[in-house]
Structure 1
Amino acid sequence: MSDGDIRGAFATHPKFEDAAGDDAYAPTSNDWDATVTIEDGAVAVTVRVPTLSAAVTEHDEVADVVEEGWFETLELRLADATNVTRAEARGDPSVERDDGDVVFEATIDARSGNVADDALAVVNYVEGTWFEGIIPGYDYREDVQDLRDRAAGNAQADQL
């Protein structure tokens, strides 16, 4: 698949839009910052989510040992993120902390599968895995609490 074909797949996908920069696309159905860039027959997926300590309000504090354990667990779980695609990964994903964010990066080959759906699956996996790692008992900032409230509402609706 040529880079032009890959661009076409993202340009026509209903859940992606052009992002700042050449050959960059952003999913429109996600809660956190994510970007997909086209690079030599592959797509690089980058997702930024808050660290646990950045997700809580300024009135709450996460102990260093909890933050470290939370990050290590997230890092281990995100190592499998590219397994949700039909595409082959190019190298191992990376998970780093950057000024209150966790930055996930992975590159998948665009020659197999549906590249836009595969990229979206990786983004969804990262966000879902992050959300599953939210620890009850903290006072979360408004955007994170809104996600928790939506999830609780959806769970209650499913039980009706």
Structure 2
Amino acid sequence: MTDTLPPAVADAFDDHDSFEPAAEGYRVTTTVFDPTVTATDIEGVGHEYTVTVRTPMLGAAVEGEVVGPAVADGWFDTFARRLEDATQATRAQIELDQHRLVADDGQAVATFVFSYGDPDQAAAIAKTLVEYVEGTYVEGIVPGYDYREPVADLIQNAKTAGDNERGGTPL
């Protein structure tokens, strides 16, 4: 619940257009995935933020076909390596206290934990991390499969955004 968050954090996230209160913390509304951000007080530092983004595993995103283990494992390993660079997308200097990507019941669950003093800037950092996960996910979509929602929407948006003359997958 948002009432369990530090008041300064709740105020910052309430003031940010990209967040809405969720059962636990806040949900980022700018992505099709299921991202949440929570925070706790850290004495003398500010707050510790936990950003969690749930995306479908490649096999769970594919419609009607079986993704072989070599492709599925390679996709997951590559996704994990790419997410290691997530902090480079932020406009702030942050070091992650923790970062992990785990497979959980057909989902790839990315978690980033960082400490930051300014709740307003932390909201922007959290949003950037979530959008980095989505963008990295789109970059890793393997051509040749039919995808179900929400991945099919991401592919369609990537095809029609920007240079409409190109077409094809985001790769």
TM-score, normalised via structure 2 length: 0.83
| Selected match of 2:66 from 56, 61, 64 | 61
C-alpha contact (below 8 Å) 1:89/1:106 kept by paired residues: no
The residue number in structure 2 matching 1:82 is 87
1:64-101 deviations in Å (ceiling 9; x for gaps): 01100110000111112123231523423100000100
Aligned to 1:120: 127
Q: Which amino acid aligns with 1:140?
A: Y
Q: CA deviation at 1:147?
A: 1.6
Write the deviation string for residues 124-159 of structure 1: whole angstroms up to 9, x where unpaired: 001110111001001111432222112111144477
What is the alpha-carbon distance in structure 1 between the residues aligned to residue 36 and residue 150 of structure 2? 20
Write the distance in 2 (CA, Å) between the matches of 1:78 and 1:90: 12
Q: Any stretches of 5+ residues in structure 2 without a counterpart?
A: 42-46, 167-171
**Whole-Å separation in 2 of the counterparts to 1:28 and 1:116:** 13
What SS does structure 1 have at the residue aligned with 2:103? strand
Structure 1 stretches of 4+ moved >3 Å: 155-159
- Cα RMSD (Å): 1.9
Structure 1, unmatched stretches of 5+, are none
Distance 2:65 2:115 in 1: 42
Give 1:143's match in structure 2, choosing from 139, 144, 150. Answer: 150
Moved more, 100-109 or 144-153: 144-153
- Provide the rounded CA distance (Å) in 2 between the counterparts of 1:18 and 1:110: 20
1:53·1:61 contact (CA, 8 Å) conserved in 2?
Answer: yes
Q: Distance in 1 between matches of 2:125 and 2:7?
A: 17
Alignment of 1:104-119 (within 5 A): 104-112=110-118, 114-119=121-126
User: Residue in 2 aligned with 1:11?
Assistant: 14
Contact kept? 2:52, 2:110, Cα under 8 Å? yes
Task: Return the TM-score normalized by structure 1.
Answer: 0.89
Number of aligned residue pairs: give it: 155
State how far apart, in whole Å, the 2-side matches of 1:157 and 1:122 are.
27
**Which residue does the alignment assign to 2:140?**
133
SS for the counterpart of 2:17 is: coil
